[in-house]
Structure 1
Amino acid sequence: MPLTDQQLERYRRNIDVVGMGERGQERLLASSVAVVGAGGLGSAALPYLAAAGIGRIVVVDGDVVELGNMQRQVMHTELGRNKAHSGRQRLLALNPDVTVEAVPEYLTADRARDLFAEADLVLDCTDSFAAKFLISDAAEAVGAPLVWASAVGMQGQCSVFGLPDRAGDRLYLRDLIPQEPRAGEYPQATGIGVLGAMVGQIGTLQATEAIKILAGFGQPLIGRVAVLDAASWRWSELPLRKGDVSAER
């Protein structure tokens, strides 16, 4: 649908970006995104998705806000409240032009497939490998593109799965990490901490990639893994190809 005068004013700075234009903004408003996790990554990604005018946003999280979250989960202000509901309230206050649905539950594989089948794009904003493999496998099962990220300590990673790379392959998380690591085999925030501002950088990178994909411009992180070492302030890019384990090292 053509943009209204109010939408032209609200989204003018988006529209003026080279490659976006009114057509790109119309595509955003017609898009549906499922975001799993309204914690650190989600707190950064979700407000920018809503502000950009993603027409329908589904926020999925079964957790409640705790005091220890507040150092990085800046979308929330009320302790004890479900994060999906809290996030929905914040996003609607930011941009009533969009539809926001709260799913206050932890996903099962079946539920994930049902939700993802109705979305144009999925964002993985969770913090455990069990959740990440469930999300990636469900997205692959229904053919949903996925913006994946992880963040712990002073390091973060981001990539785009499920869209064809230069060879025509649609890669997912198991092409990057073939088997789910056992608990205790990988660092977690509960053990080594996590810098809130660094998580925000990775979450906003997820939002940027999502907007590019949905609006149809730019070069998304397909077949590439962006890696941030915030301690030394260094961005790296690792290639990801079918059967290539170089990105695992």
Structure 2
Amino acid sequence: MVAVPVMGLSTAQRERYLRNIDVVGFGTDGQERLLDSSVLVIGAGGLGSAALPYLAAAGVGRIGVVDGDAVELKNMQRQVLHTELGRNKAESAAQRLRALNPDVHVDVFPEFLTYERACELFVDYDLVMDCCDTFGAKFMLSDAAEAVGARLIWASAVGMQGQCSVFGVPDEHGERLYLRDLIPTEPDPDDYPKATEIGVLGAMVGQIGALEATEAIKLLAGFGEPLVGRVMVLDALRGRWDVLSLRKAPRQTRSAG
């Protein structure tokens, strides 16, 4: 299913999206492009709970939500999209998004993706957003996006630190970067900190998820300068944002998935 082309904004839509339209560079054309666009969000946990409502509220016409997990009590400190324990996160998120904005069509995928399934779904959307919480999943999603030429917004958040970048969009050198240009090989699970070990502050995850939504809206509406060839890094403990440059890295032959 694809988003139905918007034939001009209705009076109600002009009022709903007025503050979007007023943003310099956005305008009515940007809002119409947004309503005609589609995003597939992988993960409706901490990052997804922040990103998804802003995508829906902004008027992204079609949003796919993928998550095979169920809401647990330990999620509630940061996964503010959900209110019902035990419910599938994709289904819970979809209900909230539909209530937030009736203009938006929500596709629900209550499943954990494989590489093959990711490749299958990615080509049906204008943009993919990685809101997962493990490096294994992130490398799989990035490899699948690279295989089918999908644009991907990537982020990670743990403890008091987060990162975000835009992959699959040509940089100033005409090269399309992906996660393996930032981290060439998937790290061993014992070599990086996890939220289950060092915790994660909900408000900090919200900052990174909102940043992902901002980058998505810029790309889909066609304005601003996306985080291409750059990685934005948040050190929330010290109240500091940094931007790191990223270039295409030499690749080794690897097997899919």
- How far residue 243 of structure 1 moved from its aligned partner, in angstroms, is 2.6
What is the letter of the counterpart of residue 215 of structure 2? E
Indicate which of 1, 5, 8 corresponds to 1:2.
8
Indicate which of 164, 168, 176 corresponds to 1:170.
176
User: Could you say what secondary structure the match of 2:173 adopts?
Assistant: coil
Residue 194 (structure 2) pairs with residue 188 (structure 1): yes
Structure 2 partner of 1:129:
135
User: Could you say what secondary structure the match of 2:233 adopts?
Assistant: strand
Q: Distance in 2 between matches of 1:37 and 1:208?
A: 17
Structure 2 partner of 1:58:
64
Q: Distance in 2 between matches of 1:60 and 1:194?
A: 22
Residue 107 (structure 2) pairs with residue 101 (structure 1): yes
Q: Distance in 2 between matches of 1:182 and 1:217?
A: 38
What is the letter of the counterpart of residue 165 of structure 2? S
- How far residue 204 of structure 1 moved from its aligned partner, in angstroms, is 0.1
User: Could you say what secondary structure the match of 2:153 adopts?
Assistant: strand
- How far residue 142 of structure 1 moved from its aligned partner, in angstroms, is 1.1
What is the letter of the counterpart of residue 198 of structure 2? I
Q: Could you list the structure 1 runs, at least 4 aligned residues long, displaced by more than 3 angstroms after superposition.
A: none
Q: Which runs of 5+ in 1 are unaligned?
A: 245-249
Residue 95 (structure 2) pairs with residue 89 (structure 1): yes
Spell out the pairing of 1:105-124 with structure 2 (5 A cutoff): 105-124=111-130
Residue 157 (structure 2) pairs with residue 151 (structure 1): yes
What is the letter of the counterpart of residue 22 of structure 2? D
User: Could you say what secondary structure the match of 2:187 adopts?
Assistant: coil
Q: Distance in 2 between matches of 1:131 and 1:243?
A: 21
Say whether the 8 Å CA contact 2:135–2:187 is kept in structure 1.
Answer: yes
Say whether the 8 Å CA contact 2:180–2:249 is kept in structure 1.
Answer: no
Q: Distance in 1 between matches of 2:196 and 2:26?
A: 40
What is the letter of the counterpart of residue 220 of structure 1? P
Structure 1 partner of 2:227:
221
Deviations along 1:65-100, one digit per CA (max 9) or x if unpaired, are 000000000000000000000000000000011100
Q: Distance in 1 between matches of 2:113 and 2:14?
A: 37
**Structure 2 length as normaliser, TM-score?**
0.94
Q: Distance in 1 between matches of 2:231 and 2:169?
A: 14
Aligned residues: 244
- How far residue 183 of structure 1 moved from its aligned partner, in angstroms, is 1.2
Structure 2 partner of 1:247:
none
Indicate which of 16, 37, 49 corresponds to 2:43.
37
Structure 2 partner of 1:21:
27
- How far residue 184 of structure 1 moved from its aligned partner, in angstroms, is 1.3
Q: Distance in 2 between matches of 1:62 and 1:5?
A: 38
Q: Which runs of 5+ in 2 are unaligned?
A: 1-6, 251-257
> In angstroms, what is the RMSD of aligned CA positions?
0.7
Deviation larger for 133-142 or 226-235: 133-142
- How far residue 242 of structure 1 moved from its aligned partner, in angstroms, is 1.3
What is the letter of the counterpart of residue 19 of structure 2? R
Q: Distance in 1 between matches of 2:180 and 2:249?
A: 10
Say whether the 8 Å CA contact 2:39–2:126 is kept in structure 1.
Answer: yes
